[in-house]
């Protein structure tokens, strides 16, 4: 192999919290690293998603790795679940402290990355037409950054104001631009985590709000509250010990499932546990209840029955309540939206739930939405329609490996990776919080950072051992990929559509679902990665 000198040792795509940390660590390790970011500044998710109500569903003090790690030792969170403006300030402060901005070029989108086999380098084309090159290419593009607009006829004909939530116009103080909904007729499409956050805020102002729901979700209370330094100290204790604790939980959230199975508990015990967890802040009900919640349908049904009852108690009109109760998926098999006053807004006269599963949206019209034979007139139309999850952002870059094979083609039948870090045919290309890696079904603040540390160590190891090429050994990749799919198939998640699944239809009409994430647990994942590293990066062909 003839080795050419690239312009940079490493290129990192994306300046979200993961990409920022990656650039920082590689730079500190003495590598020549360059970052590219499509936005005008750092922040990733918190830079793009500025819609009213946008906030964390992870405890701020468990998400803030820069603070836990001592990079921002004096950082104080003001709320248990921080809002987007505070999160963006946090990312910016971290960027200042780490001094990583000069290593990034902002307002620059990577359009193509082609592997040059002869030179053993990656050649990149940027959206200003310029080109650059690197030995190692690291994707930190994020699992939820490729905005998905629905394929509804007439979208461009709407004469009112319309936004996708992840492209909300920018206002003062890092937050959303104020859009005054007072006296307005507003439509919101989508009832995922984003929709559930924005809907109550719009409902408080609009003269009429139409919520266009295709699939009801199991939503539970966020129970957000203000934080003081004393309370953070009480909740978290010593930061180092707290990180050690987070490393032991399945998803790096501050919850550990009960060792007990729901089927082994008495009805009274179950009721008492569910009742105690429901009003508590955060994901206790999902991540802190019985350990067989996501593997045993009977156990899951206990939870379904409990949350169903809660929805019926909170929504006065029983016909509306029934529409808000999911009928097509088990509890927790999609990311559970965290809500504040969500169900109660359906008791307001100015809010209408439009069931577009029953009566599909036909088109967007200049005046609003045509649903069945009814035209609903709107002044504002909000698309809370989510993202092409996990692989979407990479699909939008023309990535080509050995023999000019496109990554999108190579993964047409679902991703194939080793540890979700590298894929055969794409040497020296690393993905952070990407397909099939244990950081994607996780508290990304912590899991993304731990993965960055692992990749940094690997690249330093390669540099120190004068290695210039890394690619998975075929059977290691096959074993890992099979393992990812097998573990997924053993859970109730396997029967459900979500942003972390690629759903296609087979020629015979049957449905085929390919998991895009690894659900074997973050501790398991990191243990495997640590072993691989300890064995000289076993399973990676290093040359
Ligand atoms: O996206 P989603 P999201 N007609 O894909 C509907 C994270 N997040 O942005 O379910 C009608 O969950 C779609 O309907 P259906 C979090 O991980 C975190 O809400 O496909 N409806 C669904 O209701 C979350 O899980 C925070 O039938 C259409 C909605 O749009 C992830 O982001 C906050 C439609 C999309 O829901 C994604 O959440 C917010 C159509 N043509 C988000 N197309 C935090 O707190 C789509 N829909 C950190």
Report the DSSP beta bridge partners of residue 11. 34, 137
Q: How many CA atoms lie within 13 A of 275 on its CB side?
A: 6
Residues 443, 342 share a domain = no
Alpha carbons 178 and 378: distance in angstroms, whole number: 18
DSSP SS3 for 84: helix
Q: Helix H segments across 148-296?
A: 193-203, 229-236, 239-248, 267-277, 284-287
The ligand 1 atom at the shortest distance from the C-alpha of residue 144 is 32
User: What string of H, E and C letters represents the secondary structure of 137-157?
Assistant: EEECCCCCCCECCCCCCCHHH
Instruction: Kindly report the CATH number assigned to the domain that includes residue 367.
Output: 3.50.50.60
Residues 418, 397 share a domain = yes
Choice from 58, 147, 166, 194 to test ligand 1 binding pocket (greatest atom count within 8 A of CB): 194
Q: How far is the CA of 399 from the centre of ligand 1 (A)?
A: 27
Residues 117, 122, 126: CA angle, nearest 5 degrees: 140
In a domain, 368, yes or no: yes
Joined tokens for residue 33: 């690293």
Q: What is the pLDDT of residues 223-250, one digit of tens each?
A: 999 999 999 999 999 999 999 999 999 9
Q: How far is the CA of 330 from the centre of ligand 1 (A)?
A: 17
Percent of the chain scoring above 70 in pLDDT: 99
H/E stretch holding 187 reads: strand 185-189
Provide the residue range defining the domain that includes 368. 148-219+336-386
Report the DSSP beta bridge partners of residue 429. 137
Identify whether the C-beta of residue 466 lies closer than 8 Å to the C-beta of residue 538.
no
Residues 34, 174 share a domain = no
Joined tokens for residue 461: 């190891």
In a domain, 283, yes or no: no
Q: Does residue 337 line the site of ligand 1, with CB under 6 A? A: no
Residues 467, 340 share a domain = no
Instruction: Provide the domain count of the chain.
Output: 2
Look at the pTM and tell me if it is higher than 0.95. Answer: yes
Report the candidate in 85, 126, 77, 122 with the shortest Cα–Cα distance to residue 104. Answer: 126
Q: What is the pLDDT of residues 481-529, one digit of tens each?
A: 999 999 999 999 999 999 999 998 889 999 999 999 999 999 999 999 9
Alpha carbons 489 and 386: distance in angstroms, whole number: 25
Q: What is the pLDDT of residues 24-59, one digit of tens each?
A: 999 999 999 999 999 999 999 999 999 999 999 999
Q: What is the pLDDT of residues 361-392, one digit of tens each?
A: 999 999 999 999 999 999 999 999 999 999 99
In a domain, 480, yes or no: yes
Alpha carbons 125 and 258: distance in angstroms, whole number: 50
Residues 424, 355 share a domain = no
Question: Which protein residue's CA is at the shortest distance from atom 36 of ligand 1?
Answer: 192
Joined tokens for residue 456: 């940094």
In a domain, 108, yes or no: yes
DSSP SS3 for 512: strand
In a domain, 321, yes or no: no
Report the candidate in 277, 274, 256 with the shortest Cα–Cα distance to residue 265. Answer: 274
């Amino acid at each position: 192999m003839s080795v050419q000198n690239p312009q940079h040792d490493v290129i990192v795509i994306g300046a979200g919290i993961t990409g920022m940390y990656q650039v920082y660590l590689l730079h500190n390790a003495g590598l020549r690293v360059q970052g590219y970011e499509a936005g005008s500044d750092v922040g990733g998710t918190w830079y793009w998603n500025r819609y009213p109500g946008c906030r964390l569903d992870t405890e701020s003090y468990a998400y803030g790795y820069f603070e836990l790690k001592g990079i921002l030792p004096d950082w104080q969170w003001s709320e248990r679940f921080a809002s987007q403006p505070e999160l963006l300030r946090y990312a910016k402060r971290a960027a200042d402290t780490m001094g990583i901005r000069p290593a990034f070029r902002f307002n620059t989108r990577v359009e193509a990355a082609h592997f040059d086999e002869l030179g053993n380098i990656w050649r990149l084309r940027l959206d200003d037409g310029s080109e650059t090159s690197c030995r190692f290419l690291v994707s930190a593009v994020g699992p939820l950054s490729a905005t998905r607009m629905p394929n509804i006829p007439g979208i461009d004909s709407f004469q009112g104001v319309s936004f996708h939530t992840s492209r909300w116009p920018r206002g003062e103080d890092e937050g959303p631009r104020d859009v005054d909904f007072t006296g307005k007729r507003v439509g919101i499409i989508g009832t995922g985590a984003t929709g559930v956050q924005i809907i109550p805020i719009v409902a408080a102002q609009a003269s009429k709000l139409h919520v266009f729901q295709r699939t009801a979700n199991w939503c539970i209370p966020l129970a957000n509250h203000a934080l003081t330094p004393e309370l953070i100290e009480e909740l978290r204790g010593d930061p180092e010990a707290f990180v050690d604790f987070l490393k032991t939980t399945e998803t790096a959230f501050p919850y550990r499932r009960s060792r007990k199975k729901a089927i082994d508990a008495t009805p009274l015990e179950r009721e008492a546990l569910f009742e105690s967890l429901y009003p508590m802040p955060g994901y206790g009900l999902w991540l802190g209840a019985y350990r067989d919640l996501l593997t045993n349908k009977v156990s899951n049904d206990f939870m379904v029955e409990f949350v169903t009852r809660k929805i019926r108690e909170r929504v006065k009109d029983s016909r509306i309540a029934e529409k808000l109760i999911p009928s097509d998926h088990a509890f927790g098999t999609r990311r559970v939206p965290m809500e504040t006053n969500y169900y109660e807004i359906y008791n307001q006269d100015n809010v209408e739930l439009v069931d577009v599963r029953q009566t599909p949206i036909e088109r967007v019209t200049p005046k609003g939405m045509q649903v069945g034979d009814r035209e609903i007139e709107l002044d504002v139309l909000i698309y809370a329609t989510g993202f092409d999850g996990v692989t979407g952002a990479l699909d939008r870059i023309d990535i080509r490996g050995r023999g000019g094979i496109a990554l999108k083609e190579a993964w047409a039948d679902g991703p194939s990776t080793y540890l979700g870090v590298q894929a055969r045919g794409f040497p020296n290309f690393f993905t952070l919080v990407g397909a099939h890696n244990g950081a994607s079904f996780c508290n990304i603040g912590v899991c993304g950072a731990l993965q960055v540390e692992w990749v940094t160590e690997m690249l330093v190891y390669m540099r120190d051992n004068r290695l210039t090429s890394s690619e998975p050994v075929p059977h290691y990749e096959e074993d890992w990929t099979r393992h990812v799919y097998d573990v997924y198939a053993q859970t109730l998640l396997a029967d459900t559509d979500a942003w972390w699944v690629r759903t296609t239809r087979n020629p015979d009409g049957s449905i085929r679902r390919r998991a895009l994430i690894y659900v074997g647990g973050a501790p398991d994942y990191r243990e495997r990665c640590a072993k691989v590293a300890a064995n000289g990066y076993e399973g990676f062909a290093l040359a």
